[in-house]
Amino acid sequence: MLKHVRNEKGFILTDSIIGLVIVATALCALIATYTQTTKASISTTSSTYATYLAQRTLEDIKQSDGKLTITLPAPRTETKGSVQYTVSVSEVAVTAIANANNLNANLRPIQAIVTWIESGQNRSLSMMSYYYIQ
Q: Which domain holds residue 20?
A: 2-132
Q: Measured between alpha carbons, how far is 108 from 113 in angstroms, rounded to an integer?
A: 16
For the stretch 71-88, pLDDT in tens is 788 999 999 988 999 999
User: H or E stretch including 80?
Assistant: strand 76-80
Q: Measured between alpha carbons, how far is 13 from 2 in angstroms, rounded to an integer?
A: 19
Q: The pTM is what? A: 0.67
Query: What is the bridge-based pairing of β-strands 107-118 and 121-132?
Result: antiparallel
- pLDDT by residue for the chain (134 residues), tens only, comes to 455 555 666 678 888 899 999 999 999 999 988 888 877 777 888 999 999 999 999 998 888 766 767 778 899 999 998 899 999 999 887 665 656 566 677 778 889 999 999 888 999 999 998 887 77
Number of domains into which the chain is organized: 1
Give the Cα-Cα-Cα angle 88, 82, 84 (nearest 5 degrees): 10
